[in-house]
Amino acid sequence: MIIVLKPQVTDEQINQVVEKIKSQGLDVHISKGKFRTIIGVIGEEEAIRSLPLEAWPEVEKVMPVLKPYKLVSLEFRTEPTVVDVRGVKIGGGNFTVMAGPCSVETREQLFMTAEAVKNAGAKILRGGAFKPRTSPYSFQGLGIEGLKLLKEVSEITGLPVVTEVMDVRQIEDVKEHADILQIGARNMQNFNLLSEVGKTGKPVLLKRGFSNTVEELLMAAEYIAREGNDQILLCERGIRTFEVSTRNTLDISAIPVLKRLTHLPVVVDPSHAAGRSDIVPELCLAAIAAGADGLIVEVHPDPKNALCDGPQSLDLKQFQMMMEELRQVAQALGRKL
């Protein structure tokens, strides 16, 4: 249920409304826009119906939320959410590029990549410390040492960091060293993990599972949002189809579909979708044209010798060239890059 309050309500009146709702054992989520304050009410339908909401003087109107995902829907908030990461804004007309190696390997590799992507126009550094791999014998990342390197390079370059957290036991360490907590495709429906990262208050980048629908992605985001955290980035990273010419199939239609369903920013991971670096630039251009709010791209100074996902990583020169093309398209579309 959504309660739209009258424009002139005071903070004291808002608090009174909230207390009345909470007294019935219901959860309350407040969204303050430019002109209206909206209260989302979550809980048992019978308890919600028992409240004489429309009779309260502070209430302008009451609307049911028809979507199964309540807090992340456009019904709850019509204004787009802007995720602020240490001053870097994602959403609301901005187009933000996150770039870096799939996996942190050495300080030299990470620093070289960070400097190059920053100079090319990337605003956020990506890098994996904990790596989920299909084979238990593949390189699994540097773990805590990788997190320390990410934080060190972040402090030197000024780039905020996004990195993956795979387990609830890793949350505290990742939260201490990173600015955005990434939930990988394999963990999209790890509901305990989603709830726990929601409690951190840190921005969360939620990747769509390669066999999951758009609605399932939004329901996963709802687990994070119901913990009071609306700083969520939805990431389309390709889905599994019968096509074998790419690692996955980038669902470009998911971008405009999500834009019609949610207020959350949408970013695209062309690297995991393609699985091959030669078509990553084209997918990036398609993403911004389709209305995405940003990209997360894998970049490595020496892809042929990368310990993880080298074939899908751009080298430093390729990334710079791609950013130059992207800048031209962004300007034509009136986007801020």
pLDDT in tens, 83-114: 999 999 999 999 999 999 999 999 999 999 99
DSSP state of 37: E
CATH of 2-63, one of 3.40.50.300, 1.10.443.10, 3.30.70.1140, 3.30.460.80: 3.30.70.1140
CA distance 218 to 215: 5
Q: How confident is the model at residue 164 (pLDDT cuts 50, 70, 90)?
A: very high
What is the arithmetic mean of pLDDT over 190-198? 97
Q: What type of residue sits at position 51?
A: L
The single residue listed with the structure tokens 């209260």 is 39
> Does pLDDT of 256 surpass 60?
yes
Distances (CA, A) of 328 to 167, 225, 265, 304, 337: 40, 35, 22, 29, 10
pLDDT of residue 109: 96
CA distance 307 to 129: 12
Q: How confident is the model at residue 244 (pLDDT cuts 50, 70, 90)?
A: very high
The single residue listed with the structure tokens 């999500």 is 258
CATH of 83-333, one of 3.20.20.70, 3.40.50.300, 3.30.70.120, 1.10.3720.10: 3.20.20.70
CA distance 309 to 49: 53
> Does pLDDT of 26 surpass 90?
no
Q: Do 311 and 113 form a contact (C-beta atoms < 8 A)?
A: no
pLDDT of residue 140: 58
Greatest alpha-carbon pair distance for the chain in Å reads: 68
Domain ranges of the chain: 2-63, 83-333
The single residue listed with the structure tokens 């550094």 is 125
Three-class secondary structure of residue 262 per DSSP: strand
DSSP state of 93: T
Of 184, 183, 185, 239, give the one whose Cα is nearest residue 209.
185
Residue 45 in tokens: 């339908």
What is the arithmetic mean of pLDDT over 144-154? 94
Record the pTM.
0.88
Three-class secondary structure of residue 140 per DSSP: coil
Measured between its terminal Cα atoms, the distance across the chain in Å is 37
Write down the mean pLDDT value for the chain.
92
Q: Do 60 and 4 form a contact (C-beta atoms < 8 A)?
A: yes
> Does pLDDT of 135 surpass 80?
no
CA distance 176 to 317: 32
Distances (CA, A) of 116 to 59, 111, 124, 125, 159: 53, 9, 12, 11, 12
Concatenating the DSSP letter of every residue in 49-78 gives HTS-GGGSTTEEEEE---SS--TTBTTT--
Q: How confident is the model at residue 8 (pLDDT cuts 50, 70, 90)?
A: confident
The single residue listed with the structure tokens 């495709």 is 185
Q: How confident is the model at residue 336 (pLDDT cuts 50, 70, 90)?
A: confident
Per the model's pLDDT, the better-predicted residue between 259 and 5 turns out to be 259
Sheet containing strand 37-42, strands side by side: 27-32, 37-42, 2-5, 59-63
> Does pLDDT of 294 surpass 60?
yes
CA distance 302 to 314: 9
